[in-house]
């Protein structure tokens, strides 16, 4: 198994008709209950140990569940029924509320309002321990494991088998683990290895086995194929189908339509934390799914900066050709001009961030050429990229962007210390620090108590402005902004959009990586869509491109033949440098 792959997530998987038989947990037969249901009896409050509801009721039901983080509404009146013997897919753009929904079901987060019923009766899932006791398990996109423990210990970390004397019964655990591995077609040799030594795909299989050890009745899969090759994904689908046939309720979180087409029985679409629609029968209308996923009402879709330009972008500043950085991206080519805003859109795992880090010198590519103003640029570190005039605002500002214990002013001047340190006495010229800080405070409207206050005293939007200010005091030719408005309020987001357009108007080449489709349409001159490590299409944002068409390329292989959709765009081919707006011809 490989940890990541750019090959398709499926290999024409077709669901077999599994005959329910022996339980997948290795403990004998279990009853089969199909997806058909009738209305459950009135809910009543129960404890963890008393959950024998009416057999016809859904295994779990969320009723008008809402969850907010400050002014951000992650879930709004969400109602979903999860039935035994059914694979229920949850689809939605990044930020639609899928992760919050998982955390509510698994007891990591508590809803602000609404209720959860388990087998027809009210249940309060106050912690992950309670969720496990109810029979809920989750296999997350990034496996959560104990890397220094063995595979066997990871499988039985919650409820180890014990002898009559109370000692750990390793032989019993091993026998049960081998029975489950046999059901899942997992190599039994893995039992003798440490979890941290396994590849991500193998870790994922072990976590599925762990869920069966815990006799999970509801298993949640969070973007499971994002770390798998096509062959591995096909094997995973066989396993999930066996779980369904054995009577488990499966929740499958994914933005990959080929996954949903392969295994889903039902699809619920989330948009901005709300249920935008649901599909209860196959075959699914994926055109309708796309429309629901992209259906946010926002003026950003009408911005079309390329249509309102007073002058076309200038000459090409940065050109990337044939860039490969396995396992994240492969044969990526693009260019950006002075005064242009180039946006990369895609879903989780598309490889956009890693591609940008390879250009910035934070990751080492295995192939490709980067040119600055026509001359080849060799970058082995961020320091070299900065010297060449390339800046990068990272996706994770807390881990990679700020110096959390330092003052606001020190964060702003961090990249130009060499210019403001006196050469002879080697002290920082405080007057220049004040000048630069006040300049950015005024131009970016940073609300701060004082420049000497710690950056941690600012809001998320304020911290992001400080990081942006750090690059604005530099002499840059190209600025890459990775998810620049993630986690900030609407007002500050609008300010960032104005700043981005202003920087481009001043002649800077701006590259924006964003998972927010309205944001992309608000600021982009051109839109490049990445999927599974490759650029799959290029759009000009002149008013003719449609959000649903952009989203379609991000979540699937593109429109059906003969249905290219609106907007001037060009399908990307290996080695092709996507054209600038004036170079695009209508398809």
Name every residue whose Cβ is closer than 8 Å to that of residue 197 and which is 6 or more positions away in sequence. Answer: none
Q: Specify the pLDDT at position 258.
A: 80
CA distance 182 to 170: 18
CATH of the domain at 491: 3.40.50.300
Residue 454 is classified by DSSP as B
Asked if residue 104 belongs to a domain, the reply is no
Q: Do residues 564 and 482 share a domain?
A: yes
Pairing status of strand 249-253 against strand 218-222: parallel
Residue 223 is classified by DSSP as S
**pTM for this structure?**
0.60
Full 3-state SS string of 103-169: HHHCCCCCCCEEEEEECCEECCCCCHHHHHHCCEEEECCCCCCCCCCEHHHHHCCCCCCECCCCCEC
Q: Report yes or no: 5 and 228 within 8 Å, Cβ to Cβ.
A: yes
Facing residues of 319 across strands?
335, 371
Quick one: pLDDT band at residue 574, thresholds 50, 70, 90? very low
CA distance 173 to 407: 53
Dihedral class, residue 100 (left if φ above 0, else alpha if ψ from -120 to 50, else beta): alpha
Mean pLDDT of 281-300: 74
Number of residues written out for the chain = 587
Q: Do residues 304 and 354 share a domain?
A: yes
- Which of 99-108, 166-175, 218-227, 483-492: highest mean pLDDT? 99-108
Q: Specify the pLDDT at position 13.
A: 61
Kindly state the greatest CA–CA separation across the chain: 83
Asked if residue 312 belongs to a domain, the reply is yes
Question: How many degrees, rounded to 5, is the angle at CA 58 between CA 54 and CA 63?
Answer: 110
Asked if residue 244 belongs to a domain, the reply is no
Domain termination residue (choose one: 191, 215, 239): 215
Which domain does 346 fall in, by range? 299-389+476-583
Q: Do residues 552 and 480 share a domain?
A: yes
CA distance 505 to 339: 5
CA distance 205 to 219: 13
Q: Do residues 315 and 345 share a domain?
A: yes
Q: Do residues 347 and 488 share a domain?
A: yes
Asked if residue 565 belongs to a domain, the reply is yes
Q: Do residues 379 and 480 share a domain?
A: yes
Name every residue whose Cβ is closer than 8 Å to that of residue 200 and which is 6 or more positions away in sequence. Answer: 1, 3, 4, 142, 143, 227
Q: Do residues 347 and 448 share a domain?
A: no
Query: Count of domains in the chain?
Result: 3
Asked if residue 241 belongs to a domain, the reply is no
Domain termination residue (choose one: 428, 458, 473): 473
Mean pLDDT of 73-94: 91
Q: Do residues 494 and 419 share a domain?
A: no
Domain termination residue (choose one: 215, 239, 254): 215
Q: Do residues 372 and 518 share a domain?
A: yes
Q: Write down the mean pLDDT value for the chain.
A: 78
Asked if residue 229 belongs to a domain, the reply is no
Side-chain-side CA neighbours of 169 within 13 Å: the count stands at: 12
Sheet holding 329-337, edge to edge: 329-337, 316-325, 367-372, 375-376
CB burial of residue 544 (10 Å; 0-12, 13-18, 19+): middle
Q: Do residues 368 and 487 share a domain?
A: yes
Asked if residue 18 belongs to a domain, the reply is no
Count CB-CB contacts under 10 A for residue 105: 23
Asked if residue 519 belongs to a domain, the reply is yes
Closest CA to 412 of 401, 396, 423, 421: 401
Q: Do residues 380 and 489 share a domain?
A: yes
**Residue pLDDT, tens place only, 430-457:** 777 787 888 778 777 787 778 888 887 7
* Residue 335 in this model has a pLDDT that exceeds 70: yes
Q: Do residues 417 and 369 share a domain?
A: no
Quick one: pLDDT band at residue 336, thresholds 50, 70, 90? very high
């Amino acid at each position: 198994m490989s940890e990541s792959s750019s090959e398709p997530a499926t290999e024409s998987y077709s669901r077999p008709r599994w005959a329910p038989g022996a339980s997948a947990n290795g403990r004998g037969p279990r009853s089969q209950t199909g997806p058909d249901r009738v209305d459950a009896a009135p809910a009543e409050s129960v404890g963890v140990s008393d959950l024998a509801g009416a057999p016809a009721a859904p295994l779990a039901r969320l009723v008008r569940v809402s969850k907010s983080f400050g002014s951000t509404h992650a879930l709004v009146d969400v109602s979903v029924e999860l039935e035994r013997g059914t694979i229920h897919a949850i689809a939605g753009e990044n930020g639609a509320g899928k992760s919050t929904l998982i955390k509510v079901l698994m007891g990591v987060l508590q809803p602000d309002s609404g209720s959860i019923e388990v087998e027809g009766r009210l249940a309060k899932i106050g912690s992950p321990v309670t969720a496990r006791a109810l029979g809920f398990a989750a296999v997350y996109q990034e496996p959560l494991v104990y890397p220094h423990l063995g595979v066997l210990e990871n499988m039985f970390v919650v409820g180890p088998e014990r002898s009559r004397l109370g000692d750990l019964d390793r032989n019993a655990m091993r026998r049960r683990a081998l029975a489950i591995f046999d059901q899942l077609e997992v190599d039994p040799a893995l039992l003798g290895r440490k979890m941290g030594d396994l590849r991500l795909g193998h870790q994922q299989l072990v976590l599925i086995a762990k869920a069966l050890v815990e006799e999970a009745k509801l298993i949640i899969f969070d973007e499971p194929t994002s770390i798998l090759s096509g062959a591995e994904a096909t094997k995973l689908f066989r396993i999930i189908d066996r779980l369904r046939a054995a009577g488990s309720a499966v929740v499958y979180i994914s933005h990959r339509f080929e996954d949903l087409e392969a295994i889903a029985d039902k699809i619920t679409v989330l948009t901005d934390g709300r249920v935008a629609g649901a599909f209860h029968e196959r075959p699914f209308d994926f055109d309708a799914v796309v429309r629901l996923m992209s259906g946010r009402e926002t003026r950003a879709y009408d911005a079309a900066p390329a249509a309102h330009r007073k002058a076309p972008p200038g000459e090409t500043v940065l050109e990337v050709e044939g860039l490969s950085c396995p396992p994240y991206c492969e044969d990526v080519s693009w260019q950006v001009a002075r005064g242009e805003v180039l946006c990369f859109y895609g879903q989780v795992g598309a490889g956009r961030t890693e591609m940008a880090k390879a250009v910035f010198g934070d990751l080492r590519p295995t192939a490709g050429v980067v040119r600055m103003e026509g001359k080849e640029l060799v970058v082995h570190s961020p320091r070299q990229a900065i010297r060449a005039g390339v800046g990068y605002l990272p996706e994770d500002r807390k881990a990679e962007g700020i110096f959390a214990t330092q003052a606001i002013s020190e964060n702003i001047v961090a990249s130009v210390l060499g210019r403001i340190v006196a050469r002879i006495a080697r002290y920082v010229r405080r007057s220049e620090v004040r000048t630069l800080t006040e300049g950015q405070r005024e131009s970016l409207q940073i609300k701060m108590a004082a420049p000497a206050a710690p950056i941690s005293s600012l809001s998320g939007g304020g911290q992001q402005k400080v990081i942006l200010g750090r690059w604005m005091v530099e002499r840059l030719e190209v600025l890459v902004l990775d998810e620049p408005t993630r986690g900030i309020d609407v007002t500050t987001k609008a300010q960032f959009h104005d700043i981005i357009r202003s920087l481009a108007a001043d002649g800077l080449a701006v590259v924006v990586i964003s998972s927010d489709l309205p944001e992309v349409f608000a600021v982009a001159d051109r839109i490049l869509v990445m999927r599974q490590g490759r650029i799959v299409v290029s759009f000009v944002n002149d008013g003719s491109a449609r959000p649903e068409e952009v989203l379609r390329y991000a979540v699937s292989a593109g429109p059906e033949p003969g249905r290219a959709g609106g907007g001037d765009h060009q399908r990307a081919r290996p080695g092709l440098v996507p054209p600038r707006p004036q170079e695009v011809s209508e398809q």
